[in-house]
Amino acid sequence: MNEKGILIILSGFAGSGKGTIIKELMKKYDNYALSVSATTRAPREGEVEGVHYFFKTEDEFKKMIEKGELLEYADYVGNYYGTPREYVKQQLAAGKDVILEIETEGALNIKREYPDAVLVFVMPPSVEEIHNRLKLRGTETDEVIEKRMKKAGAEITVVDRYDFLMINDVLSESVELFNSIVKGQHMAVSRNRDYINDKKKEFEEYLSRKKEN
Ligand code: 5GP
């Protein structure tokens, strides 16, 4: 069957719990690789360089763009975020299913360039819950929370261009759902052309041997 990795994009509003889904998924399954993005946003408390993000100045980020080092990038609430190209390429070639946790603009750009990419959007059970989760996290000021809520309102308008929607209510169920989506994708006929062609050849050989006998 299909040995190539799948490029999966997970987007969702701030506070949708997508980060936690990925964390649990990576603990449980070893077929995934998570891309670490570059950003000009300041690190939050507890965030580690190279683990959560590669933290860059605006100049450094712009140099990465110029050198073509980013697969995609976008501006989100006043900061740049982008996906380093090389890691994704290497991991896909090694057969890993690569997850990009990115916002909608970057996601749709990727889909344009890589139609095989699978776009998953995760939502909390209610709009009120988005606000509550952001408040509870306590990492942003009220002003930034309001900006992120506004952004969420804009992002919902592009969800219908995604492939899958997940409502993140019970974490363990979301993890399993996400994994099933990816497993299902590996079985898509369009991703298994080489395997199907091999089987066709095997049949042809078998039938011609029969004829000879
Ligand atoms: P946060 O500041 O909360 O870590 O991330 C803000 C938003 O930027 C989230 O929606 C997150 O998914 C998105 N994001 C993180 N990395 C990237 C990236 O490399 N490219 C794009 N387009 N968005 C990203």
pLDDT digits (tens, 9 = 90+) for 114-138: 999 999 999 988 888 888 888 888 8
pLDDT digits (tens, 9 = 90+) for 34-91: 999 999 999 999 999 999 999 999 999 999 999 999 999 999 989 999 999 999 999 9
- Residue among 41, 32, 28 nearest 10 (CA): 32
What pLDDT score was predicted for residue 125?
Answer: 83
Q: How far is the CA of 76 from the centre of ligand 1 (A)?
A: 7
Between strands 70-76 and 79-84, the pairing is antiparallel
Q: Report the predicted TM-score, pTM, of the whole model to 2 decimal places.
A: 0.90
What pLDDT score was predicted for residue 148?
Answer: 85
Question: For ligand 1, atom 7, which residue shows the shortest CA distance?
Answer: 103
CA 14/CA 124 separation, integer angstroms: 10
Pocket test residue of 48, 53, 80, 102 for ligand 1, highest count of atoms within 8 A of CB: 102
Q: How far is the CA of 184 from the centre of ligand 1 (A)?
A: 26
What pLDDT score was predicted for residue 155?
Answer: 85
pLDDT at residue 210 tops 90: no
What pLDDT score was predicted for residue 2?
Answer: 62
Q: Which fold has domain 7-35+96-212?
A: Rossmann fold (3.40.50)
Q: How far is the CA of 169 from the centre of ligand 1 (A)?
A: 21
Q: CB-based burial of residue 167 (10 Å sphere; 0-12 exposed, 13-18 middle, 19+ buried)? A: middle
CA 96/CA 106 separation, integer angstroms: 21
pLDDT digits (tens, 9 = 90+) for 130-170: 888 888 888 888 898 888 888 888 888 899 999 999 999 99
Type of residue at 17: G
Q: How far is the CA of 5 from the centre of ligand 1 (A)?
A: 22
